[in-house]
Structure 1
Amino acid sequence: MLQKFGFTQYESQVFEVLTASDEPLDATTIVKYSRVPKSKVYEVLNRLIEKGLLKSSYTNRKKLYTALPLDTTIRKLTAEFEENVEELKNKKYTLTPNDDRVWTIKNATAISSVTSDLLQQAQSSIYLSGWSDDLSPLLPTLEHKQQEGVTVEVLSVGEMETKLTAPHVLVPDENHEALERHQLIIIDEREILLAGVEQEEWQGIHTLSSPLVKFFTEFFFHDVALTEITRKYEDILKEDEQLQSILMKLRY
């Protein structure tokens, strides 16, 4: 009978046996009358207890079970049904945005404008890498966001003065082969803006594509890890010409 209210067949069988009995029953007796497998009966009994339909007690080292009065169960199921109906009536349904498009942006001013908007919109985290002179105008906003509780992690190419907590700083080496002017912003780990200079003009892409966001988030922390390893073990790395040569080919 309980199957009509969303309960399983086994739950219904156990409940019916206990409701029909004038006395509390142990698990062995419940198995006998309900035909629920012994391997399943304790799991079913526990679920019914959690759902508030059964009571249990220990008597003479034996655990006994009894169903709540049927009228009580009916009132309980009725109240839960009415609550669910009310929740259904008041629930607002929205589609989660799923925009995998990649937008191209040109012009330094446009990129700067989009950057400012993204930083203001950040709710949980900001990951940002770029050259220190490009990042400096953004520091007041970043520091304010950090004060609001937003996680702000910055990787700067070149020294900078900031109140941000523990920024990562890469001091450029004249031997770097792939260190190009760039800017990467990751907002709330769901949206990115990647920009760089091509033919002396800033160009960038903006996207909410999950695979790209995940890729560039991992790319950001790859750069952070390399920066910190290089900083911490700089003297050791300089002694290994082969390793130093490889590091100089990385973009960071």
Structure 2
Amino acid sequence: MNLTSRTGDVRRGTVGPLLGRAAAAEWGELWAAVGGRLARRRLAAVPLALTATLLVLLFDLVQQLPGGAGFVERVGVVRAGLPLELELLRTPLSLFVPALDLPVWGALAQVLVVFAVAEIVLGRPLALFVAYAGTVAGTLYARVAVDVGPGGFLGLPATDALVRDAGPSAAVVALAICAAWRARAWFTGAAVVALMGTEAAVLPNLAGLEHLAAIAAAVLIAALGEVFGGYWSRVLALARAATETVRTASGAAAR
């Protein structure tokens, strides 16, 4: 593409490098971390993402079988009208129960890609925690919103107490936000927030509002990690150094 300068000169090939620099600034750190790990370890680098994807596929296959929908309902489907303890008991598996009215390939692709990126960028334990926290945030929001009712702020009608929760999508949204924050991919994170906000505004249903709750949980986790993450790593480093010093001193005294 050609761009004409103020002097009237035609400068060729300026848009490509600009876009390349913008992409490198936005995704360079993310690509280096993810691409490097996958190049070294292949699929062994993302066991959490593979397990999550297989569980989504398994639950989808089971709920298509005769009697399978009832089984999935009992072990992994969460609704705001259920007792709280039952909701929380089912929530870990609800991460992997796909919606019945949406094509499962979309859920599989989202879970595989976003879980894999988050697993590498955040680390496996934190990625699992963020996925669970995003799902729990959506679940608890739905209960409160139904109690508030449609007349209150972000309230929901009583009929939504019978609607299935967002399933793996709430976890995917939370992971996308935290991974983008960690990799400093600010425009990508903002795009996810804008997309979910638009969805909730245009289609104000339970799933869309649960996604906003998952975003709020993810932003809180990312902000806390920003504030306290370095502090705890320094504390652990000091503790390890102190332990090593004591062990060395003890060994010298024993000799």
Provide TM-score, normalisation by structure 2. 0.24
Larger CA Rg, structure 1 vs 2 = 1
Which structure has more relative contact order (CA 8 Å, sep 6+)? It is: 2
Provide TM-score, normalisation by structure 1. 0.24
Higher percent of residues as helix:
2
